[in-house]
Structure 1
Amino acid sequence: MGYKVIITGTTGMVGKGVLLECIDHEKIDQILIVNRNTAGIHHKKLKEILIPDFFDLSGLKDHWKDYDACFFCLGITSLGQSEDSYSKITCDLTLNFAQNFYDQNQNGIFCYVSGAGTDSSEKGRSMWARVKGRTENGLLNMGFKGAYMFRPGYIQPLRGIKSKTKWYALLYLIFKPIYLLLKHFPATATNTTNMGLAMINILSGNYQKKILENTDINELAQKNIENPN
């Protein structure tokens, strides 16, 4: 039997990358994607549920039992956001979703896409880093069999994936030649394929680190799913 996973944020760059790897991977049998808007992808492994309000998860109550993991790839930029508004979407929404997933799947694994430079102390000067740190700490203390915080730095989209944000898409296009150099320095950059493979390879729950930086993500992407250590 393969794994059953839930993925959020598959209309975004990272979430779509994770989804494509899960679709292709022989160890993944079933995928439930949860979005506000359709991802527009169809596959025999795949089921999609649209949730207009992620603070109201009643539409999921009959659908998300007996899943092995949640790959939480939903997120927004902090640019132009007040701390209260950014915290509501980044921290409160994430913890609400995670708690509901945990209530139905207490042996489940939760992978959260955080970011390089996240502040675990929650006391630093950077607003986004404090909020991400508070989110990570809440997830790590929730009681999951395994909760893993992914802290990528630069992420290069592969497999034809493009950012929905126009200036992000332009930035990635500009940086594509530079990534050919950066990929030789695993502490500096990763890509959407490695993000997906690392999440899949963590599903055994045996990986010891709970916070994964760029190097950890790139290394774990190359490891065998049954023996990730």
Structure 2
Amino acid sequence: MKVLIFGASGMVGLGVLRECLVAADVTQVTTVGRSAADTSLFRRDREDAGFNRAVAGKLRQLAHADMFDYAAIESQLAGYDACFFCLGVSSLGMPEAEYARITYDLTLAAARTLRRLNPTMAFVYVSGAGTDSSEQGRSMWARVKGRTENALLAMGFAGAFMFRPGAMIAMHGARSKTLAYRLLYPLLGPLLPLLRAIWPDRILSTEIIGLAMLEAARRGAAKGVLESPDIRRLALRGA
């Protein structure tokens, strides 16, 4: 299986990147973004010679400045079986038009190109718990995410899966690029494993999310929109 990852430098993106690199059935991983993902963050694997060989053999990082236009690199985006779209920004302090441009317009620009180039591709989009499928709610970010999900589901991919994780535990060196989250995680970190033991379906790890994405790409899922309990069940199905 050959996979594309958008947003591989973020917390969820790094999580799925790591799982793709260690998966035996993934033969090529290409990241697409303005900057490369820092694979040295996979601290548990840095001294593992086998893992380092897998990275060298599988990973290709494609730098691309204009994430709204892929004409210049179309030839490098064809021939893939799955796309894991983990690119996103926090809506804090952001006007709706600007947030929609980054969340909806940018995502759809990539998805339309990939759908045309890879008609049998599975497309997995990372949304978030609380996303509003009706597009009518009071929460701006939830409406925009809902509109994005709906457009992707209607696009005609061989498989389209909207992941809505909530609270997450970062594993294997993955970390958020959002400053507020980076400040909160050290404070909440000691509590999260305990809370996860109490509510395993509600608090997921980046590893579980990555495993579930791979399973969706391999064998699909029972529905197009997956909340945290669905994501965990999907990961366990592929374990």
Range into which the TM-score falls when normalised by the shorter chain: over 0.9
Greater CA drift, 16-25 or 175-184:
175-184
Tell me, what secondary structure is at the counterpart of 2:125? Answer: strand
1:163 offset after TM fit, Å? 2.1
Unaligned 5+ residue runs, structure 2? 40-54
Q: Say whether the 8 Å CA contact 2:126–2:162 is kept in structure 1.
A: yes
1:119 offset after TM fit, Å? 0.4
Tell me, what secondary structure is at the counterpart of 1:203? Answer: helix
State yes or no: 1:180 paired with 2:193.
Answer: yes
Tell me, what secondary structure is at the counterpart of 1:168? Answer: helix
1:59 offset after TM fit, Å? 2.9
- Aligned match for 1:97, one of 110, 118, 128: 110
- Code of the residue aligned with 1:66 in structure 2: it is G
> 1:1-229, aligned counterparts within 5 Å?
3-41=1-39, 43-184=56-197, 185-224=199-238
Q: Cα distance 1:99–1:205, how it changes in 2: closer, same or farther (>3 A)?
A: farther
Partners of 1:223 and 1:100 lie apart in 2 by 31
Partners of 1:167 and 1:87 lie apart in 2 by 21
Greater relative contact order, per chain length (Cα 8 Å cut-off, separation 6+): 2
Unaligned 5+ residue runs, structure 1? none
Tell me, what secondary structure is at the counterpart of 1:177? Answer: coil
1:164 offset after TM fit, Å? 2.8
RMSD: 1.3
Greater CA drift, 159-168 or 116-125:
159-168
Partners of 1:151 and 1:4 lie apart in 2 by 24
1:85 offset after TM fit, Å? 0.2
Partners of 1:205 and 1:141 lie apart in 2 by 20
Query: How much identity, in percent, do the aligned residues show?
Result: 48
Number of matched pairs: 223
1:113-167 Cα distance to aligned partner (Å, 9 max, x none) = 0000100000000000000000000000000111000000011111122223333
Q: Say whether the 8 Å CA contact 1:51–1:59 is kept in structure 2.
A: no
TM-score (norm 2): 0.90
Greater CA drift, 27-36 or 129-138:
27-36
TM-score (norm 1): 0.93
Q: Say whether the 8 Å CA contact 2:69–2:109 is kept in structure 1.
A: no
Q: Say whether the 8 Å CA contact 2:211–2:238 is kept in structure 1.
A: no
1:155-185 Cα distance to aligned partner (Å, 9 max, x none) = 1111122223333112112222221122221
- Code of the residue aligned with 1:148 in structure 2: it is F
Partners of 1:124 and 1:182 lie apart in 2 by 29
- Quick check: which one's helix share is greater? 2
1:206 offset after TM fit, Å? 3.5
Greater CA drift, 202-211 or 78-87:
202-211
Partners of 1:14 and 1:85 lie apart in 2 by 22
Partners of 1:164 and 1:132 lie apart in 2 by 19
Tell me, what secondary structure is at the counterpart of 2:138? Answer: coil
